[in-house]
A and B are shown apart, each in its own frame.
Chain A
Amino acid sequence: MSNNNCELIRQELDEVMLGETISAAAVEHLRECAACRAFNEKQTRLREIVGSLGTVSAPADFDFRLRARLANDANRAAFHFWPLARRGLAFALVLLVFVMGYLAMRNVFQRPSGDRQVAADQHNATPAPQPVATVESRQDPNPAPELAESSSDRHQQTIRNERPVRIKRPLMAEDFSNERAPVFNGREPAGAFEVMPLDSSAQSFKVSLDDGRGNARTISVPSISFGSQRMLHMGNQYASKRDW
């Protein structure tokens, strides 16, 4: 009997369920092959023993324990959110209190000391009031060359004199009470000061004044826009005229 045939027969014996009929060829082979017969006997015996293990019963309280487990799971799922939510809320509240406290402390301690320092610095640095055209330098972004030079020099000097120590925090307000107002004597060339650097294309209200000595003054008040006119103007500018 060939080994190949034995393997095939053993495979067939392996695959059939106990008690199932095997093929006639396998029966014939078992009758002739002692090795395969021994294999079949051992295999059948083993499978009988394994099959005799049978089914182990679940304990009597299986259903009760399962019910309790399901009920516990359901309760846990229902209340699972709240401990986390409570912890999160408490943490957020503590964080909020700390942030609020920090901001309050910062405002209380830093603002008065800064103002006091500015006032003290100005008082120490300026023993007598000096005529400084700080308003000019602030209001006029493009002054005439000689004026710009002189005013910037004076401004730098003023900064050097008045503020030897600059504070890092930006100033909220400045005291100009000890400075004299700027004087315009009419010698400035026309157009040296822009009254309002707004869009000149917008219609403005202009008034011409004469001081009686031949000096004309023109006061120009630009049109006040709350945004809608300007938007309309811009929209109209880019829109095709035929679309209207």
Chain B
Amino acid sequence: MNTLTTINELGFAPALQQEMLEDTTSDHALLEATRTGDQDAFAELVSRYRNQITSYIYRMTNDYDGAVDLAQETFVRVYRAADRYQRTYAFSTYIYRIATNLAISELRKRKRRKLVSLTGFFQQNDGAEAQELNPPDSRPLQDSELVDTERRNAVQRAISTLPEKYRAPLILRDVDGRSYDEIARILETSEGTVKSRISRARGFLREKMRAYL
């Protein structure tokens, strides 16, 4: 792996070079190029997956700043392990697996430390306990956009209260729209287990979201 001494050496692709990179270039080819020291290829990989990974980790942790940090850590690990990467699975499976492990590790850390995110206090979507203590107002709101926003916040809070083993498959299936097969490979478990966990996760959510359904 090439070592970087300055930020400029990474040289994320300028616009002209990005045009030259074909959209059809596979993730495998980009990572192969990253391995040989092509920083533009890595930049292309980052641009392809940064939003997906950040969003996925945010749904898992319900903490945006923490999610951005973990997403960056995900890409750092991909970059460092580029030499050891094997084309056994799709690159998306590989990077999602790293992101999942980081997110679950963070959730366990929080559980151990009983840590409450300060950013969570200042964001609109409070912690899960707040949702339990403040049941949603059942009166109809005039503004449908506000209703949608409130509903999304409620479902995000409800998801964040799910056990982690149900949370990841549910997000991958219902938010990211991934197939059972891919989810099973990301979570390194069987397809049957994934289906069962998703079904149970939906059952939990139906109970928590009863007022909105």
Contact surface of A with B, Cβ cutoff 8 Å: 11, 14-15, 17, 42-43, 45-47, 49-59, 62-63, 65-71, 73-75, 77-78
Contacts and interface: CB of A to CB of B under 8 A. Distances in A.
Contacts of B58: 56
A78 B1 CA distance: 12
Contacts of A56: 51, 54-55, 58-59, 64, 67
Contacts of A78: 3, 5
A63 B43 contact: yes
B30 interface: no
B55 A71 contact: no
B72 A55 contact: no
Interface residues of B, number: 47
B6 interface: yes
- Interface SS of B by simple majority: helix
B54 A46 contact: no
Contact of A66 (B6, B55, B72, B174): B72
Contacts of B64: 56
A51 B152 CA distance: 9
The 10 A-B residue pairs whose C-beta atoms are closest, nearest first, are A74-B4, A56-B55, A58-B54, A58-B50, A50-B174, A55-B55, A74-B3, A71-B7, A67-B10, A71-B4
B10 A49 contact: no
- Interface SS of A by simple majority: helix
Contacts of B59: 53, 56
A63 B46 contact: yes
A57 B54 contact: yes
B71 interface: yes
B195 interface: yes
Nearest to B4: A74
Contacts of A50: 155, 159, 170, 174-175, 205
B156 interface: yes
B90 interface: no
Contact of B50 (A46, A62, A70, A77): A62
B128 interface: no
Interface in B30-78: 43, 46-47, 50-52, 54-55, 58-59, 64, 67-68, 71-72, 75-76
